[in-house]
Amino acid sequence: MQSFDLEAQGLRALNTALHAQSDNTNQTVWEVQNPKGSHAIAVGLDAPIEVNVKGSTGYYCGGMNKQATIHVHGSAGPGTGENMMSGKIIIEGDASQYLGATAHGGLIVVKGNASSRCGISMKGVNIVVQGSIGHMSAFMGQSGNLVVCGDAGDALGDSCYEARFFVRGSVKSLGADCEKKEMRPEHIEFLKDIIAESGVDAKPEEFTRYGSARTLYNFDVDNAGAY
Average pLDDT, the chain: 95
Give the sheet arrangement for strand 143-148, strand by strand. Answer: 2-5, 29-33, 50-53, 69-72, 88-91, 107-110, 123-129, 143-148, 164-167, 208-212, 178-181
The whole-number pLDDT of residue 215 equals 86
Is the model's pLDDT at 212 over the cut of 80? yes
Angle at 32 between CA 12 and CA 126, to 5 degrees: 95
Tell me how long the chain is. Answer: 227
| Digit-coded pLDDT (tens) for 150-181 | 999 999 999 999 999 999 999 999 999 999 99
Is the model's pLDDT at 221 over the cut of 80? no
Q: Please, which pLDDT band fits residue 216 given cuts at 50, 70 and 90?
A: confident
Is the model's pLDDT at 226 over the cut of 90? no
Question: What is the dihedral sign for C-alpha 63, 85, 96, 142?
Answer: positive
- Is-contact 181 161, C-beta < 8 A? no
Q: Give, as one character, the DSSP assignment of residue 187.
A: H
